[in-house]
A and B are shown apart, each in its own frame.
Chain A
Amino acid sequence: MTHFSKKFIVSAFVGTLLSVSAHAATLNIHNGGDPTSLDPQKISGDWENRIDGDIFEGLVTEDPKDNPIPGQAASWTISPDQKVYTFKLRDGIKWSDGQPVTAQDFVFAFQRLMDPKTAAQYAYLQYTILNAEKINKGEIKDLSQLGVKAIDDKTLEITLENPTPYFLNALMHYTAYPLPKHVVESKGDEWVKIGNIVTNGPYKPTEWVPGSHVSMVKSDQYYDAKDIKIDNVNYYTLEDQAAALKRYRAGEFDILTSFPADQFDWIQKNLPGQAHVVPFLGTYYYVLNATKPPFNDKRVRQALSMAVNREVIGPKILGTGELPMYSWVPPGTANYGEPAYVSWKDEPYKQKVEEAKKLLKDAGFGPDHPLKAQLRYNTNDNHKRIAVAIAAMWKPLGVDIELYNTETKVHYDEMQRGQVEIGRAGWLADYNDPINFLNLLSTGVEMNYGRWSNPDYDALIKRGNEQTDLKKRAEIYKKAEQLALDDSAAIPIYYYVSQNIVAPKVQGFVDNIQDIHRTRWLSIKE
């Protein structure tokens, strides 16, 4: 070979490499906080879900609109009593190390999830599976008693405690992801470290620098790899939203998953069409301690709720247009239809205030005998702004509010121990079903901070849970919701909105009610 031809071949090879790397599509996503772990059984936040949802895949996965579609399972059948689900796994599905994904990997993962030794924070999300709760509570020691069985390598059978219409939706959750049994068993707790970790999703992690980023590359073992347009994804840790917006403007980020609310006007003017602010399955509300006077009086609860001018909170106080909330379940929730609303929803605000004054007067309060109460919220500028505004809205009723701010850990600790009169709370849905919201008002659940309790409500929820007909179930739940709203069980304030900014070059980003956007469906137009 001549010197020239050698040189030519080397140049061509280098040129090819450069052109390949030049065409490798990379997506840079601002992801807020640092992930707690890459282990799907150790995480609990939406910023962690974004990462794990790209590197793992469950039996069922999300389409771009967040609808359930077959994931690792090609198909499934449901028994007539709706308690036994039989999944057929796809042919040729593999872990990123080339090993086949089998039904045993799912059995292993579900058993590990429920094993008390794993201490999985979100284990309770799969309590609908037979014996799951008893195993997690240590009442059953034998993990094989869990209702998840491998019939053969390709067939998985899951038996539920009761019919659960949202079960397929719950299988999209990261608690239902399989784990590579062969790696976890050989590496122990170290299995999740970069270099050891093996995943079955569209991407595999290649680097994690705590406080900086998690990087991943497309997994060539993924069954749909040929249709995936983005080769590399970087999830950046950056909690300072203003700094994140600057980096987005400089082209360093392609997607922002949150932004400073006070910049919304600027963003709309200067980055037209890039802000995706849409309703989201989340609610912002105040609880009232229904076990203590005067909040054990329905009239007081209703008066305070009526006097909240919800129409100004989203557009004026927050500036991002959060929608006023008059129901308990957000509109657009699956398996539900239109939610129930408070009876006074459409009254003019002035009239609501007048009625509120009357209700309070009937309860023995007014300017001569003001209602004094403490309103607690956790540290956050928005919570503070809202608390100040609502305290001002209550002032004309003769309500004297003391604002009390604590850090998040203390706030929720005190809320759970019932040490609040009025307290700020919020809930983001784990799965798209009304019961995820309605449960917040059931007697005895940890999230029922106001301890409002109504046997009729509990009975309706129980009846709804047992109902397999989705239409009838929704009707029963709606009766429960109406009952809670009529009794002013809590003060709904607004429905959350998801707040993404997406660069015009990113294609395939579809707004959806759970704010889930897997990279698999995105592409970059250069």
Chain B
Amino acid sequence: MFGYALRRLLSTIPVLWIAVTVCFFILRLAPGGPFDGERPLPPEVKANLAAHYNLDKPLVEQYLIYVGDVMKGDLGPSFANQDFTVTQQIMSGFPYTLTIGGAAFVLATIIGVVVGCLGALYQNRSADYWLGGGLLIGLVMPSFLIAPILQLVFGNTLGWLPVGGWGNGSIRFLILPVIVLTLPHAARISRLMRGSMIEVMSQNFIRTAKAKGIGPRLTVMRHALKPALMPVVSYLGPAASYLLTGSLVVESIFGLPGVGRYFVGAALNRDYGMVLGTVIFYMVLIVVLNLLVDIAYAWLDPKVRMR
């Protein structure tokens, strides 16, 4: 298992290198530079800035300097947030994203699986309609719509919860953003779980279990749950990637200091170091998450073997 994981991680290095190289050159070819803006700078100031960040050197030399620094673990400076390096910024934002995204991931999985199971077991009955239908709201309503509604209702009208901010991680401040992040994933997981469970419940081995006189609850828990989870597990990888890379919308609406905003902001600011830093960070994160999903798959289905 350890050897498999290590091989998988090592195999990503060439992919990472290609991605960084492509990003590096595409970014430099994009029109507009990091110091272009509403206030044009005098040429000498632009030259001073370019020299400060090595942008006055030939492109290939800049690339070699960057790759050399990355190999030493230095993701370089950020133009948009000069008091912090790219590494410092990512490391400062990630705990916030991890807290909110992690909570949303756990909640979405639990709610999705439970609601999906109930939907399958009480198929086409009121519990199925109410629970499944309720969660579908989260799927059809985008977060930029649902977040302001929740803020308005629970923050402004009822005054039960803070409208935004981090509040030193106090649970009251996390409730609304976590709900917004949880809803669409819980809805998707519940749909997957429901369909998969209905299919599993019609299999021969379940019929056999029922024939042996095992109660419905035990049949589900002991025999049906594990195989029915397979499609859910394959969805958990992308869901975790999405939640742990931060949601720009949720972070910007609730004013949270996570890493989601770096995705778009850095590209718009032509913050070369930050864009490349986030690419590297997210690629590593996604590879690790996919690896965890594969391991979970093998645990759920012994037919899947790791080579």
Contacts and interface: CB of A to CB of B under 8 A. Distances in A.
A210 B255 contact: no
Shortest beta-carbon contacts, A-B, top 8? A409-B32, A211-B257, A212-B257, A446-B40, A119-B52, A119-B48, A410-B32, A238-B255
B198 interface: no
A413 B39 CA distance: 11
A42 B84 CA distance: 13
Contacts of B39: 44, 447
Contact of B33 (A36, A409, A446): A409
Contacts of A409: 31-34, 36-37, 268-270
Interface stretch (A77-85, A244-252, A387-395): A244-252
Contacts, number: 156
B37 A236 contact: no
B81 A210 contact: yes
Interface residues of B, number: 54
B195 interface: no
Interface of B: 30-45, 47-49, 51-52, 80-84, 89, 92-93, 96, 147-148, 151-152, 155-156, 159, 162-166, 251-258, 261, 268-270
Interface in A34-61: 34-39, 42, 44
Most buried by A among B38, B162, B258: B38
Contacts of A250: 155-156, 159, 162-163
Interface residues of A, number: 53
A211 B258 contact: yes
Given A211-B256, A252-B165, A246 B152 contact: yes
Given A121-B49, A211-B258, A426-B38, 6 more contacts: A38-B83, A119-B45, A209-B166, A210-B92, A243-B252, A446-B42
B148 A120 contact: no
A37 B83 contact: yes
Given A192-B83, A408-B268, A242 B257 contact: no
Interface in A206-221: 208-213
Nearest to A378: B38
A119 B96 CA distance: 33
B166 to A, nearest CB: 6
Given A34-B81, A447-B40, A116 B92 contact: no
B52 A246 contact: no
Interface of A: 34-39, 42, 44, 116-121, 123-124, 136-138, 192-193, 208-213, 236-240, 242-244, 246-247, 249-250, 252, 407-414, 416, 425-426, 446-447
B162 to A, nearest CB: 6
A211 B254 contact: no
Most buried by A among B43, B45, B89, B93: B45
Given A34-B80, A119-B45, A413-B31, A209 B163 contact: no
B83 A236 contact: no
A237 B255 contact: yes
Given A408-B37, A447-B40, A211 B93 contact: yes
A192 B80 CA distance: 15
Contacts of A124: 41-42, 45
A413 B36 CA distance: 6
A36 B45 CA distance: 17
A212 B152 contact: no
A416 B36 contact: yes
Contact of B256 (A39, A119, A212): A212
A119 B45 CA distance: 6
Contact of B164 (A137, A247, A412, A426): A247
Given A211-B258, A243-B163, A250-B156, A408 B38 contact: yes
